Amino acid sequence: MNQIDNTAKPLKQYQVWDRTVRVFHWVNVICITGLLSVGTVILNNKILGISTDGKILLKTIHVFIGYVFVLNLGWRLTWAFFGNRFSRWKSIIPFTKEHRASFKPFMEGEKNHNPAFFLGHNPLGRVMVAFIFLLLSTQAITGLVLAGTDIYFPPLGNTITEWIAEDKNNAANIKPYSKVNVNPESYKEMRDFRKPFITTHIYIFYTLLGTILLHIIGVVVSESRGKNGLVSAMFTGKKVSSKNPVDGNET
């Protein structure tokens, strides 16, 4: 890694985030905003006096947004094998030898009130991004299970209705929140199976709220102190700085 260079230089642009990463980021922002908003209403359905049909409609909307979210996340995780070096797993996974080494120039810059310039994520940002990916992946998996166990949507919906049906031949006709053709014992078993997934989904929901808030605060602070185009880079793909990037020579 390069040492921090305090020599005054003209601003220089660096291409960092490729188009796939930028598109993923903004689609993810839209999906997460929609999922959190609809999810909040669903969690407070009793207080809001929402009917059963209203709950089913809200959960249907939640699931369809969730499908877009899952596809977008799946593509980003796959792109981590093929994208440019800032998109790859090597630049995401924390606590590697290279990541640990990056803390030294980062902390020196913080101590001297002269933030080090990173093309990719700084060491703390990298930990945050990895944690967000973990939360999003967990939410995606649990959400798909809940879609099948609650309103019988793909990919598990058919399996679940066959599990709980009295008449297996008519399993496809079972409707959400209806007890018609539903075996009570099988239904209870299914709901017991579902319980850890809904519990995890709800806890991740609240964790995501806090993590997103910290992420936004971190971006604002880094942008205001480093003045490196951190926010605009998610539109243009380019960061700017008069400093030499700490991670500029990595391949």
Do 107 and 116 form a contact (C-beta atoms < 8 A)?
A: no
Task: Please write the tens of the pLDDT for every residue from 91-141.
Answer: 999 999 999 999 999 999 989 989 999 999 999 999 999 999 999 999 999
Q: Nearest CA to 223 among 208, 239, 204?
A: 239
Q: How would residue 226 be classed by pLDDT, with cut points 50, 70 and 90?
A: confident
Task: Please write the tens of the pLDDT for every residue from 161-198.
Answer: 999 999 999 999 999 999 999 999 999 999 999 999 99
Task: Note whether residue 249 is domain-resident.
Answer: no
Angle at 129 between CA 85 and CA 208, to 5 degrees: 155
E strand or H helix that includes residue 41: helix 19-43
What's the distance, Cα to Cα, between the start and end of the chain in Å?
A: 11
Task: Note whether residue 248 is domain-resident.
Answer: no
- Counting the structural domains of the chain, the total is 1
> Domain range for residue 60?
12-241
E strand or H helix that includes residue 213: helix 184-226
Task: Note whether residue 1 is domain-resident.
Answer: no
Q: Is the pLDDT higher at 250 or at 75?
A: 75
Tokens 């929140």, residue located: 177
DSSP 50-102: --HHHHHHHHHHHHHHHHHHHHHHHHHHHHTTTS-TTTSGGGTS-SSHHHHHH
Task: Note whether residue 178 is domain-resident.
Answer: yes
Helical pair 97-111 and 123-150, crossing angle rounded to 10 deg: 120
Task: Note whether residue 3 is domain-resident.
Answer: no
User: pTM score, two decimals?
Assistant: 0.91
For residue 51, give the CATH number of its domain: 1.20.950.20
